[in-house]
Chain A
């Protein structure tokens, strides 16, 4: 009996350790981009605009800017904020799920790292959504499918212009009716 309990506890400990080590990597994804910062941002923005399913741009924020304003330097980080009312409305209508507004709008970050290359950072919407029951899980699975399309680029197409003045670009989400969630 002691052996069974010990084995169970050891198994639990190993599982906990694995979850601890792997969970962070599973919840977020990092994908290298073949383009520079601005072009990556612009191509994602275009993909969002053409994605359908109610998607629109709700902001573009430079997370490095406040650090620059306080006199420091970090490599650039651009946060593209996008929102689909098709997906946000059912969640925001449900009182028991309104706290998930914290995850809105959907954010995709584009940043440069010390190797000089550009990367795209995404949340694993499907996995995280699955933690909150089937309703949220189903919606977030659709969000994840659309997100995957946002970062598929057609290099044969010319570089579009970066949309700097996306609705609420200066302050993030919410300021403009057609862009906010």
Chain B
């Protein structure tokens, strides 16, 4: 039996091969485009230099500064560049007032201040040996190259070592029975590469002494994130590293909460053109990224993050929502220090530090924000009868550079000088007799902290409510999970407290409503009267 044959008119015989060719071309173009995209966004898998082949690195190192010296034999300008960055100085200058801010100068409502606690806090400094105010900020060998460039995942800096990794096996935490092995500096030095999410995360995921505690949109789940958690960092998808957006030049990392690009306008970034705000969404997406014009109209008032980060801390790691220092030094029923965790295993109370509250899958609060934040620095006066805002985000509905941003607000209760009316610096970490976590004596701890901060202390302290505001910008959800219209356009929607904009369905005008309803009633009355009259007329005829 012969198979049936399909006849095709001769004029169409070229159609099938043509379609096949188009399909092949489209597929190969798409493949090439994808490959190009991966090339742009994925970090280079292999450097052009194999650092294990460098004789400068092929030896044993006694300490971190020795490694840095070896790095600088080739990378001659690297340390100088780092020394101009916030990662090194822990300072930032307020562009409006000239006030010097930065981690070194503000008192936050987490661990409060690194002043007098450098030995612990500098575990997150990109340097070696900052243990007091005598630290040499100009010594190039003090720059820690490895904390950002280690690719072995074995380089750890622990509190209590002034920014050094451990060179000998140590028990950590002290008395815990757990040990941290000495770092193999040779192996680490030979491994180095561009910073990965783990490098940045070693500090930024664990700020304030706990996973996810500080930021809310940064925690260890971003080391291997799924698409749901961050559509850009999705390990099986776009696989962005932090540096993909936080493009770096001369070791200066772009994008900072001290100077945020809150309202970037114009088209997407064009290769070769200087980009002032490479870490912004608009840098790639432009400020009119939607197909629907109605959605694009929103970008004049809303930050991208407002709709595209519906919740932050979207995992059970969660984030800290408050820290109450006033309960620190409170002992257990047996009179000894106590500590306990919450139901999810996160720190909840410690006699050393006070009480914490946590939340996960958190709905942000919303603020007008123009990228400027006014920070309180050490010695700034406060009004203890009100909540003290550690930072106040700038912006208003009438400011063309302001957008409505999602924020995390971290609430706290922390010590202040009752006579001088400023927040106090306290010496918390350490084994000396003035350290709060050693002797549980607030007076001694504050006196030592204030002395280190070179501020007078009256000897009288109290506790004041504080708040700190953190713009949310990571954990961008897939577009299908962005906020729906009704989540804002409703009486009790997400933006119910935002002033200065008229939002249909949230807002109403009494007169407009009155006129509208009057017209509706009059129309109904007219229809009714018309019906009655026609009924009457037909009965009269009949």
Contacts and interface: CB of A to CB of B under 8 A. Distances in A.
Contacts of A116: 362-363
* Secondary structure class of chain A's binding surface, majority of residues: loop
Contact of B344 (A38, A67, A70, A112): A38
B361 A112 contact: yes
B310 A73 contact: yes
Contact of A72 (B234, B359, B360, B478): B478
A68 B226 contact: yes
* Secondary structure class of chain B's binding surface, majority of residues: loop
B316 A38 contact: yes
Given A38-B342, A73-B478, A159 B311 contact: no
A68 B348 CA distance: 28
Contacts of B360: 36-38, 76
Contacts of B314: 73
- Give the top 4 A-B pairs by smallest Cβ distance, nearest first: A42-B343, A71-B227, A38-B344, A38-B343
Interface string A60-76: 00000001111111011
Name which of B344, B360, B487 has the most chain A CB atoms within 10 A of its CB: B344
Nearest to B321: A36
Interface in B225-244: 226-229, 234
A75 B362 CA distance: 9
27 contacts: A36-B358, A37-B360, A38-B343, A39-B342, A39-B343, A43-B343, A67-B228, A68-B229, A70-B228, A71-B226, A71-B227, A71-B478, A73-B228, A73-B311, A73-B477, A73-B478, A73-B481, A75-B311, A75-B361, A76-B361, A114-B487, A116-B363, A159-B342, A159-B348, A161-B341, A161-B343, A162-B344
Contacts of A11: none
User: For chain B, which range describes its interface: under 10, 10 to 19, 20 to 34, or 35 or more residues?
Assistant: 20 to 34
Contacts of B358: 36
Nearest to A78: B316
A85 to B, nearest CB: 27
Contacts of A37: 360-361
Nearest to B226: A68
Contacts of A70: 228
A158 interface: yes
Nearest to A69: B226
A154 to B, nearest CB: 14
Nearest to A43: B343
B343 A162 contact: yes
Contacts of B227: 71
Interface in A133-160: 158-160
A41 interface: yes
Nearest to B480: A72
Contact of A68 (B228, B341, B342, B344): B228
Contacts of A76: 316, 360-361
Interface string B282-297: 0000000000000000
A21 to B, nearest CB: 23
B345 interface: yes
A114 B363 contact: yes
Contacts of B478: 71-73
B340 interface: yes
Contacts of B229: 68
Contact of A160 (B228, B343, B361, B487): B343
A126 B267 CA distance: 62
Interface string B201-230: 000000000000000000000000011110
